[in-house]
Amino acid sequence: MSFKDDAKKEGKTLLTGFISLAKWLVLASFTGVIVGLVGVLMVKGIDLATNLRNDYPFILYFMPVAGLICVFLYQIAGKDKDSGTNVVLEAIRSKEQIKFRTAPLIIISTILTHLVGGSSGREGAALQFGGSLGESISRVFRFKEKDRVTLIMCGMSAAFSAVFGVPLAAVLFPMEVASVGVMYYSALVPCVVSSLVAHEVALLCGVTAHQYVLPDIGSFTIKGVIVTVVLAVLSALLSIVFCQALHSTHHGLDKLIKNKYLRVLLGSAVLIGLTLIFGTDYNGVGGSVIVKAVESGEAVPYAFILKIIFTVITLSIGFKGGEIVPSFFVGATFGAAFGHLVGFSPEFCASLGLVGVFCGVTNCPLASLIIACEMFSFTKAPYYLIVVAITYLISGYKSIYTSQKIMYSKTEPTFLGKDK
């Protein structure tokens, strides 16, 4: 190829890049603002619902009513077989469309779930409404298929960033979660822009992430590494138990109690009974318990087991939300208990457990590492890197998302293209 032809080719490539940059600066910024604002409304709605439940404990007894409403809303919307966040992952890899009604449905149902004390997170709602709004924007402007997929990921990044306050991890998570082992780098700039814009929108509206304060554990030591390796292995095993419990209970209850309304009524009665026995720490997000575990090393030794039980029942009977924050709770409380057992900073072990279980249930090592650094400390990145690497390897091919694809083997460079 001559110098002239080569220069012409490079010039065309540069022009294409600049055009793409200009396009996505506009589209991703727009997506970040819209999704960021919706995310703010959802966070404030969940916080209001949680405060109301705390101020008026009797609201717990309205759980069966809220459950019936959630099931009814999804039924009249034609989403009887709702697959949650899985539909967003499928939309990234295929031409599967996300209906606009997904956004208001998941937000209303998630707020109702938290109002009455259902145990769930908020990221499920965030990823679903983010993906739904991204899809809707692409349809309004009649974008081609590839741009539609990028906008879905933009919406997910914006929602994750606004709701969790981790803009760096929010860029990586949507690019990594749908097809593990294959990163959608074409969405890097759009996701960066939408995530940062949504984060700023959230900050302007007064929605900020909790700033965890960890004790100083000193320099990188052999003891610290050994404790971290053991905790990583145990976190991986715990993540397998969590995922298996979620899927088995959901399918089991579907077969055992076919009537959705009866299922949510009976499940609500069980959750109310469990709350009366064990207290309210396991209702809702459980943010205060996570903070105690990470900042004070305080956790009931069996708290992680109870949170799994509460969450599995909640999400299996028809309530909505997400599994990621419960995985934070499970990992943090388990890590704190482990720290007390081995005599190594229970606070720091809580942060390690949180990151490890999150990585195990999502199969997203890069996003997990960045979440750890954003939530806790970049200075302790070597420890978090060890936890993430080992947990990812040991946790196998289980996931909280049944539509997730594991594209490459975790033990050797072999293509799998494996469905969950």
Average pLDDT estimate for 38-47 = 92
Average pLDDT estimate for 115-143 = 82
Higher per-residue confidence, 93 vs 294: 294
- Predicted pLDDT at 18: 87
Q: Do 3-204 and 222-419 agree at the fold level? A: yes
Average pLDDT estimate for 64-81 = 87
Percent of the chain with pLDDT over 70: 95
CA-CA distance, 162 to 302, in Å (whole number)?
32
- Predicted pLDDT at 219: 80
Question: Of the ranges 49-53, 59-63, 157-161, 214-218, which one carries the lowest mean pLDDT score?
Answer: 214-218
CATH number 1.10.3720.10 is the correct assignment for the domain at 3-204: no
Q: For 211-225, how does the pLDDT look when each residue is reduced to its tens digit (9 = 90+)?
A: 898 888 878 889 999
**Predicted structure pTM score:** 0.92
Average pLDDT estimate for 120-144 = 79
**Domain boundaries of the chain, sorted by first residue:** 3-204, 222-419
Q: Using an 8 Å Cβ cutoff, are 173 and 164 in contact?
A: no
CATH number 1.10.1130.10 is the correct assignment for the domain at 222-419: no
- Tell me the average pLDDT of the chain: 90
Average pLDDT estimate for 21-49 = 92
Measured torsion, CA atoms of residues 22, 158, 177, 88, in degrees rounded to the nearest 10:
-100
* pLDDT higher than 90, residue 92: no
Cβ neighbourhood burial of 366 (10 Å; 0-12, 13-18, 19+): middle
H helices of 61-144, in order, are 63-76, 86-93, 102-115, 123-140
* pLDDT higher than 70, residue 418: no
* pLDDT higher than 60, residue 420: no
* pLDDT higher than 60, residue 50: yes
- Predicted pLDDT at 419: 59
